Amino acid sequence: MEYLWLAGAIAAEVVATTAMKYSEGFSRPLPSLVTALGYVVAFALLARTLRTVSIGTAYAIWSGAGTATIAVIGLTLFGEGLSTAKVAGILLIVSGVVVLNLGGAH
């Protein structure tokens, strides 16, 4: 169940970060509100996750998965460029999360 809380935290953080881009520097009220609420939900769910999952593992997964997802959203929604360095960075993030989980981190 703890990884479902973590998945929710990741999803909320991704929604909040995407809304922040649409908020245009917090000048648009609705995306700004979605940003604030999304981060509140993300931190609440992350805090719930930390009851049973170690902080290092939870935070690595939360930040890594969020970063990789936002990079993909940047490519697809915002037309950001794709470079070899960006692909390598995303692969390294995903690899790090996999290694943490295979290493038996709790």
Question: What does the pLDDT look like over 20-65, one tens digit per residue?
Answer: 999 999 999 999 999 999 999 999 999 999 999 989 889 988 998 9
- Reported pTM: 0.87
Phi and psi torsions of 40, nearest 5°: -60, -45
What is the C-alpha to C-alpha distance for residues 49 and 96, in angstroms, rounded to an integer? 19
Percent of the chain with pLDDT over 90: 67
Residues ≥6 apart with Cβ < 8 Å to 47: none
